Structure 1
């Protein structure tokens, strides 16, 4: 079977679909991923064929101050212009697009392929469709086609009890036909290793802090949190993000390690807690390892994720105006000292483990 995957050109949108991409490739299907050219190396290093479609994240003007609805609409139009002709030539049997990517549904409609929508976090709220639905309808009209995007099968990464949409009536959800799919806490590239300096850190407990790969430019927040955590008797491993020199944060004590990137799959099993911006990837990573989580939401869906973490009892949140060194120290100390947070996170980990994996879901959607 020919399976076309499509995703916006950001790690947080490409990484969630990787387990299904790899499962499809390993099952012998002909697989290609369409996304920005800036994601090509990230995928080709895993032996995945890619099509450069639409702008890169930088070309699209992505950043902390981005109007994300406009970003998704603008990039989808450009991506469709590249993607539809190639899809017509390739003739996929199945198109799988992540839930903010709108060119994939057009390619599916034009080619007559079955369409599946892959979640990347908590299902977006229904009011988002009021903004993106007309954009997709206009794209359908441009290519003289059409489909009911909301009738597609949606692969849902959130386990029961996490995120309010999971308990909402069907009429209040964008997609009604859903299949659960266990999220994976990172897919390291072949040969990836933890820095040797991680193993040399002095304390028994380690805290990981990150602001991800989109909001990592908010250096004041990251600097405040790192400085606060450095006062605690724990190891601190901070990832400062792509293109950022760790030396710019100044000299650090021996129990604090800064790096542009560390693979979560290898780091999180060593951690006692996580401090992050609350992107879906790190949220699921913390859940998968039963780690209490302090969320410092910066934008996009991170405020929704922060609320979900708090409501699940698996962590705490500090909104931008609340982030001070004293608040970070107090909240992380509470997460480490109160076992109720770890217990709640462990409950979610058990629910994640009970969800079907990518290979199982692949057999269902290709049947």
Structure 2
């Protein structure tokens, strides 16, 4: 099969799809991965063919309009003709990448939606103005489809069943896929400084790749966590200088980036902004979390994790060094939180992995049951 993957150009959109794309290539399928120029490098490091399509995320931010809806037409203008020329048998797009649905419809092949975290609530989907943009995209490419028919696609759901919120589901047809904490590039290693840290337990602090520049937040969290009797490993985010956070004691390590697949097995607790990638990564390793939600899906993620007893959450108005340090200290001292997180880890481990999902998507029975709507 020829499988085209397409994603909005952000780490939190590309990274969750990489395990499936790598598994597809490993199974012998021809794979192309389309995204913005700013996110092709992580894909190429996995040995995958990349297509540069649409604007970068920086261009989308400068435009000032809602990112996903506003960039869909430009991405489709690049993606559709390449898809027509390449003739994929299947198109897999992230849930916010609208051009993938249109490319699949124009070529006349199946479309599968890859979820990133909690399936987006219907009101939030409406607020992002995605349906009108998707309807217009289908009209302009004369597919005969619309946003409603697009949501008949199979949705690959990485969020564990016990943490799924109640309510209307945007994509009624779903198939589980096991989330992983990133896909390490060949040869990737943790720095030797991680092995030199003095304490038995380690806390990982990250604000991801979108909210890491929130003024003062990382500094506040470091100030609250550095006095706990644990190692503190901080990833400060792309484009940052660890030295800018000032001198740190020997048990604190700050780096712009560390591979979560290699780091999280060493940790006892994660403190983060609550993006889907790090929340799922921590849960996949059975780690309790302190969530400091800032925007996007983070408040929903925090809410469902707190309800499941695997996390504590502090809203924007409660973010002081003392509050963050105390929340982390309580979770580190509470074995029940780790027990509940371990139960979610077992649930995630039972979900089909990327190899199983690729095999299922390529099977004749699944192909027949999930044919592209006409």
TM-score with structure 2 setting the length? 0.94
Q: 1:137 touches 1:146 (CA, 8 Å); kept in 2?
A: no
Q: Which residue of 1 aligns with 2:41?
A: 41
Question: Pairwise CA RMSD of aligned residues?
Answer: 1.3
User: Is it true that 1:300 corresponds to 2:296 in the alignment?
Assistant: yes
| CA shift for structure 1 position 62 | 7.1
Deviation at 1:159, TM superposition (A): 1.3
Deviations 1:173-202 (A, max 9, x none): 111111011111111111111011010001
After the TM superposition, which residues 141-180 of structure 1 pair with which residues of structure 2 at under 5 Å, given as runs? 141-147=139-145, 148-164=149-165, 167-168=166-167, 172-180=168-176
Shift of 1:127: 2.2
How far did 1:359 drift? 1.0
Pair 1:221 & 2:217 matched = yes
Q: Structure 2: how far apart are the matches of 1:356 and 1:29?
A: 19
Q: Please give the per-residue CA displacement for 1:195-217, whole angstroms capped at 9, x wherever unaligned.
A: 11010001111100000001111
Unaligned 5+ segments in structure 2 are 364-374
- How far 1:309 sits from its partner (Å)? 1.1
Cα distance in 1 for residues equivalent to 2:355 and 2:285: 21
| 1:23 corresponds to | 23
What pairs with 1:1-367 in structure 2 (closer than 5 Å)?
Answer: 1-61=1-61, 70-130=66-126, 131-147=129-145, 148-164=149-165, 167-168=166-167, 172-367=168-363
Cα distance in 1 for partners of 2:140, 2:250 equals: 58
Q: Which runs of 5+ in 1 are unaligned?
A: none
CA contact 1:62–1:71 (8 Å) conserved in 2: no
Q: CA deviation at 1:128?
A: 3.6
- Cα distance in 2 for residues equivalent to 1:159 and 1:315: 15
* Superposed displacement of residue 332, structure 1: 0.4
Q: Which residue of 1 aligns with 2:369?
A: none
Query: 1: distance between equivalents of 2:280 and 2:142?
Result: 39
Quote how far apart the aligned CAs of 1:146 are. 3.1
Please list the CA deviations of residues 232-285 of structure 1 after superposition, one character each: whole Å capped at 9, or x if unmatched.
111000000000001111111111000000100111111110000111110011
CA distance in 2 between partners of 1:308 and 1:24 (Å): 32
User: Matched residue of 1:120: which SS?
Assistant: coil
Secondary structure of 2:211's partner? Answer: coil
Q: Is the 8 A contact 1:155 1:178 kept in 2?
A: yes
In structure 2, the residue corresponding to 1:253 is in which secondary structure?
coil
CA distance in 2, matches of 1:257, 1:40: 29
Q: What is the CA–CA distance in structure 2 between the aligned matches of 1:40 and 1:290, rounded to whole Å? A: 31
Q: Is the 8 A contact 1:8 1:14 kept in 2?
A: yes
* 54-63 or 268-277: bigger deviation: 54-63
Report the alpha carbon displacement of residue 219 of structure 1 after superposing the two structures with TM. Answer: 4.0
Q: 1:361 Cα shift?
A: 1.0
Displacement over 2 Å in runs of 4+? 127-131
CA distance in 1, matches of 2:215, 2:164: 29
TM-score, length-normalised on structure 1?
A: 0.95
Q: Cα deviation per residue 1:103-126 (whole Å; 9 max; x = unaligned)?
A: 000000100010100101010112
Q: Whole-Å Cα distance in 1 between the matches of residues 134 and 202 of structure 2?
A: 45
